[in-house]
Chain A
Amino acid sequence: MSTPNMVLLIVSGLLALGGALGTVAANRPLRAAVALLVNIVALSGIFLSLHAQFLAMVQLIVYAGAVVVLFVFVIMMVGATEKVPRTLRGLTPRTLSLVLMSLVALMLVFGVVYVAMPAQDLPEDYGTVMGLGAVLFTQAALPFEMVSITLTVAIVGALAVGRGRTPKEAEAAKAAEAARQLEGAERLAEERRISAEVSAHGGH
């Protein structure tokens, strides 16, 4: 591997790791979003080192340009700009998850890091717009169209979920909730009565 490539890889790799750690460990959500952005840009660099130019660009456009922006929108809307308070709730399962998952990841990392495979010559249009486009519109045409539909569905879904309730719907939901509470209380009372009867009869 050529030296510039290696340098690019190392820098991008370190930035990616740093950005990931920053996302995971950030105090405030907004800082986490910025760290994610750093990570994504670094990943774009990694793609470049792998000769996947088109993908690097797509990564920047879609991820950095849309997904992270969306995250920032929502953070602003929700108002989660303050420091996230730390609690001790659920400490044990969290610690357990942390330890085990770290072990698994470390095992993977140190298991594979020395593996190498024989290098091969790259085709002419490897990783270019033309090359990928040729595949996308011929062999992968169907998945390509499906992805369009998926995106449409996602839009509709997001709209539906995020719409919230009109006042009338809110009323109806409140009434339904009250009715459900009542029924639950009734059933509980009924069960208590039956079990009292059963134990009074001595289980006969």
Chain B
Amino acid sequence: MSTFVDWFTYVSIGAGLFFFLAGTVGLLRFPDTLTRLHALTKADNLGLGLVVLGLLPQVDGVLNGLKLIAIWLLVLLSGADAGQLIARAARRRGPPI
């Protein structure tokens, strides 16, 4: 049973890391601010979500699990908002898109 749980963790965190890697590649390779932001926020949302999902079966106690989920939700909130703010600033000041 515990091996199944461990494998679930490996697979989920591995998938999360893949999204972080893809997001980083997107940040480096995409042509303009908006597409780069798109790549970054996807990495934050999905990548961190999968890492948290993988860690959930490993924590001791419900409270620690809830803390992990709360961290993910806070990153979702701040990532989406920071993305909006940067995009807005880029549209106002940068070259026309």
Physical interaction between A and B: no
Binding site for B on A (CB under 8 A): none
